[in-house]
Amino acid sequence: MPLPKTLLQKYPAINFVETGTFQGEGVVFASQYDYKAIHSIEADFNMARDAKDKFRDYPRVNIWQGKSENVLPSVIEHLQGSITFWLDAHMESNLTATNCPILKELACITPLLTDRKVNVLIDDWRLMSTDLREKILLYVSKLLGKVKSGFEDTHIASADIFWFTYRP
Ligand SMILES: C[S@@+](CC[C@H](N)C(=O)[O-])C[C@H]1O[C@@H](n2cnc3c(N)ncnc32)[C@H](O)[C@@H]1O
């Protein structure tokens, strides 16, 4: 689902990282804001190729091809400063821990949660199994008082985006 247009204003950061480029709507929205760098990761070869072509004249935009859980560490490695993550690399109707990369993506993000501000926005809460939701909430609860969390609405469903922000 596309990123709600005004949502990024609420979670400012120096960098923007998206998983699941699809047709690039999230990148277009992010491009309206003054991120130093915008990174988007797409597993599908043809979609990634089309997105690279679409954004070839956007100097801040970097499209990566590959599975988010494999590519995220390389993307994150060279980023300085705060990051807003838009985790949207899934399309299945019933998202579980085995068919959705969210938990692996969070594991990639975890090493960042030391000395910088990180915003994480997770799309499609309505599609997630109870088990997956519980695992995400458990992950956040272990961040011991350094996070705030909540939900945001989309035009498809209320409370469909689960977010948390980490402040060192
Ligand atoms: C819901 S769409 C993304 C929509 C887009 N973020 C937006 O805001 O318009 C999901 C995309 O994730 C891609 N995808 C699925 N699994 C992935 C993975 N493990 N890593 C990266 N991309 C993945 C799919 O090919 C699809 O293009």
Using DSSP, state whether 32 is helix, strand or coil: coil
Say how many Å lie between the CA of residue 76 and the centre of ligand 1.
18
Percent of the chain with pLDDT over 90: 86
Atom 17 (ligand 1): residue with closest C-alpha?
Answer: 89
Q: Of all protein residues, whose CA lies closest to atom 7 belonging to ligand 1?
A: 2
Q: Is the Cβ atom of 4 under 6 angstroms away from ligand 1?
A: no
Kindly give the distance from the C-alpha atom of residue 7 to the centroid of ligand 1, in angstroms, as a whole number: 19
Specify whether the CB–CB gap between 84 and 15 falls below 8 A.
yes
pLDDT tens-digit map of 1-24: 678 778 899 999 999 999 999 999
Rounded mean pLDDT of 132-136?
97
Q: What is the pLDDT of residue 21?
A: 97
Q: Which domains does the chain have, with CATH numbers?
A: 7-166 (3.40.50.150)
Ligand 1: distance of its center to the CA of 92 in Å? 10
pTM exceeds 0.95 = yes
Q: What mean pLDDT is predicted for residues 117-138?
A: 96
pLDDT value, residue 15: 98
State the Cα angle at 110 between 43 and 42, rounded to 5°.
Answer: 10
pLDDT of residue 168: 87
Task: Name 54's Cβ contacts closer than 8 Å, sequence gap at least 6.
Answer: 24
pLDDT at 139 (0 to 100): 96
Instruction: Supply the mean pLDDT for the chain.
Output: 94
Ligand 1 contact, 41 CB (< 6 A): yes
